[in-house]
Each structure stands twice: as structure tokens, then as C-alpha cells.
Amino acid sequence: VVFFWDERLDRERPITRERIALTARDQAFGRERAPQLARAELERRLVRVRAATEALCAELSPEDAALQSMPDASPAKWHLGHTTWFFETFVLRALPRFRAFSPDYAYLFNSYYESIGPHLRRDARGLLSRPSLAEVYEYRSVVTAQLLELIEAGRGDWDVLGPRIELGLHHEEQHQELLLTDIKHLFAQNPLQPAYRLPGRTHNAGPAPALGFKVHAGGLLPIGKQGDGFVFDNERPEHLHFLAPYALGDRLITNAEYLEFVRDSGYERPELWLSDGTRWLSAQKISLPLYWQEAGEQSWAAFTLAGLLPLNPSDPVCHVSYYEADAYARWAGARLPTEAEWENAARHQAVRGNLLESGEFQPRPVEPGESQFFGDTWEWTQSAYAPYPGYVPPAGALGEYNAKFMCNQQVLRGGSCVTPSEHIRASYRNFFGPETRWQFAGIRLARNT
């Protein structure tokens, strides 16, 4: 036996070698080996998720939906098409007598699945004035209808197709978030600074409570996939990880706290920055978080999905790169958490918070009792994105979904104010390059004890 520290029981418990071995064998993507969602439930979710994506685009003009503001961001129209192509390719194409909606779409809407075939290069997604937005909506309707028929008629190998439909839904939810961050980036480039939506409710602008740190005992702890719900392949297998004792901040860092760093010349002090960060600062001429603007003497504004608004000091700071998060932590005498530290702390918390469904589309001040593990902003961790011990990517093209990005990326945890609540969980691993800023990414501090 190997012992581990069970944080809930606050004592050691033995782990059998059998369990260790077992976790290493549990390699399937999504639910493929797990109890499946009932057809009726899947049908309900399909209708709901597809409609939710379209609802997010309801106010976009054809032009809004067609433009690409940078290679990392995609036009809304492309998101609408790509999520549809994903279902068509991984579900409908497996059926007999399959006919593609359009022979060209496999090229246009494949993102990066080399095993499927050649595809449009990423930075050319904004060159597609055709197909029109209307044609893409037509594509969506046809594919959604085909999926519903498939579910109802029970055509095809359900053991394969059922899990793939579920995967397609999680994939589409992922793109709901990207669609919003991409629109925000596009609108931010427009000198008119248009608003995607009306401002949400005003939050009490009182200062955040003093930052506290909660100590965790560590030990030999389970990390990764929990229970029977859907997870991505990169959350598998559940495995043991040894953690020394550590402490985590009890809320996210606020704009007010980050402003102290700015005013203390945080951006000009190389001793606070990673070497790559120093280079990035100077090449990109960065001195503030993305979307911040000076609005006068000691006064700041930030571009939001509701247009340019005064910076609320008690909101969590957002749209910072890993380099900025890391430098802030060093300046604050702390560090960023590892992903295991974060997950261990979040594992027993309810998934609740300022997520997409709150309708705020902006981080909001912490409320009494909240720890902000879920929602508001993704939290940068000091962990590079890497396979879990025993990880084996899914066979075929779906193996490209996550595995090939396991280099030069940092893991982020916890979801943001534009993450659908069904999409997030404690074991969820998001990842972006350390210089990335257009996602809603913020800062939670950690410390050694």
C-alpha cells in the first residue's frame, strides 16, 4: 500500500496499488466508457446549446460576424460554422449515405484537425465574406435537424455517436466563450468602441475585504477526473500527486490591488519579471492590462462588452498575461498556484459563481462568503500544460483536440464570466500561451507555508 493524505478526513488513508493501476488504464475521451446520457436528455441539451450559441449572436450584424481582429481570434461566423462542422464530421459523417451540406466547408471550417484533411490557415478566417452569415445559419439548422433525427431514430452506433454528440456540445460551449472574447477584441479595435450589449447592473463599489490565505495540508492526493460526468481527455486519468502544504488566496486580486503594482512601477522593474516577460513587455510596449485606458489624472477606464466603462476598483483584475500575473505575484511576495494546488482546493467546492448565465459578461466584486474559484476570471497557474501521468490521447482525429498543444502553454483554471456553467468543473484544464491576454484571465495568489 501507499498512503495519502485525505484532506476531507484530515488523516492518511491507504491507496491500493490496484487503484493506481486502474486510473492509468482509464483513458477514454468524454464519457465513452461512462454511463451515457439518456437520449432524451441529450436531445434537450442539443437544442439548448445550439440555441444558446445563436442567441449570443443575435445582435451581431453580418459585418460584426465576419471580421477577424487578429490571428488568435476568429469571426463569429466562423465559430458558428466550425461548431457545426464538428458535429457533421465526427457524428453525421459516420452514418451511411452521409452527404455533406457543402463540399467546401470541410476546408473552411476545420480548425486544426490534420488527420481530417487540409484546412484554411488560421489567420485567413477573416477573409471569408462568403458563405454569408445567412448561409451559415442555414448550415446550422440543417445539421441540428439531422442530429435530432439521428438521436430520435437511434441511427448509427449509439455507443460511439452518443458520446460524440455530448463531446460536440462541450466543444460548442467552449466556442461560446471564445465567440464572446473574440467579439470583445474586435470591438476594442474599432475607434468607435461599440458596445455588444447594454451595461449590466452596477455593483456596490465598496473596497474588497482584505485578502486572506487559506492553508491546505497537502499530502498524496487525487487529481483529475472525478465521478462519472463528462470530462475532456486531458483531465484523465485520475492520478495521485504529492503536495507539500500550501496556502491559497481566498479571493481573486482586484483592480485596486493591481493598480498599486502599476503605481509602484511594477512594469518597469525587471527583477519582478520572467526573462521572456521582459522581452514581451518591451517588444509589445505593454504597461497596463489589455483594454485599460488612462481616462484622466489618476483615473482609468476599461473597454468591456458594454463599451468603455470606468474601472471599478473592486472588480477582479482581468485580461492580464501570465507574465503580468507572475510579476504581480512576485511583487506581492507570493507566487501563482500550481494547477494541482488549485484543483485540490476547488475539488470539494460547488460550481457556483459569476458564469455566463449570470448575464454580466464582466467580473464582479467578491461577495461575502465567496471564494471566486469558479467564474469571474480564469486563474493563471504556474503549471505548464502537460499530459497527466498515464495519459493516452484518443485514437484518430479526436486525439488532436487537446494533446498536440502540450508545449509552451500555461494552464488556467476555474472558468470566467463568459464560461457556460455546465462547461466548468474543478478538474477542467484550460490552456493558453503565456503572452495571451484577450481571454478573461486573472490572478489568485499562493504561498508556501
Q: Nearer to a second copy by C-beta: 130 or 201?
A: 130
Q: Nearer to a second copy by C-beta: 202 or 448?
A: 448
Could you tell me the CA-to-CA distances from 427 to 247, 340, 345, 350 in Å, in that order? Answer: 19, 9, 11, 13
Q: How far is the CB of 373 from a second copy (least distance, A)?
A: 21
Determine contact, residues 256/314, Cβ cutoff 8 Å. Answer: yes
Q: How many angstroms separate the CA atoms of 221 and 272, rounded?
A: 32
Q: Nearer to a second copy by C-beta: 371 or 410?
A: 410
Q: How far is the CB of 134 from a second copy (least distance, A)?
A: 9
Q: Per the structure block, which three cell numbers stand in for 43?
A: 436531445
Q: Nearer to a second copy by C-beta: 181 or 421?
A: 181
With a CB cutoff of 8 Å and minimum separation 6, the contacts of 275 are none
Q: Nearer to a second copy by C-beta: 98 or 242?
A: 242
- The amino acid at residue 177 is E
Residue written as grid cell 507572475: 326
Determine contact, residues 223/381, Cβ cutoff 8 Å. Answer: no
Q: How far is the CB of 2 from a second copy (least distance, A)?
A: 6
Q: How many angstroms separate the CA atoms of 147 and 175, rounded?
A: 19
Q: Per the structure block, which three cell numbers stand in for 225?
A: 477526473
Q: How far is the CB of 262 from a second copy (least distance, A)?
A: 19
Q: Nearer to a second copy by C-beta: 27 or 226?
A: 27
Judge residue 266's burial from the number of C-beta atoms within 10 Å of its C-beta, 0-12 exposed, 13-18 middle, 19 or more buried: buried
Q: How far is the CB of 173 from a second copy (least distance, A)?
A: 22
Which helix (H) or strand (E) element contains residue 16?
none
Q: How far is the CB of 60 from a second copy (least distance, A)?
A: 8
The beta strands (E) that lie in 21-155 are given as none
Q: How far is the CB of 20 from a second copy (least distance, A)?
A: 6
The single-letter DSSP state of residue 271 is G
Q: How many angstroms separate the CA atoms of 374 and 424, rounded?
A: 8
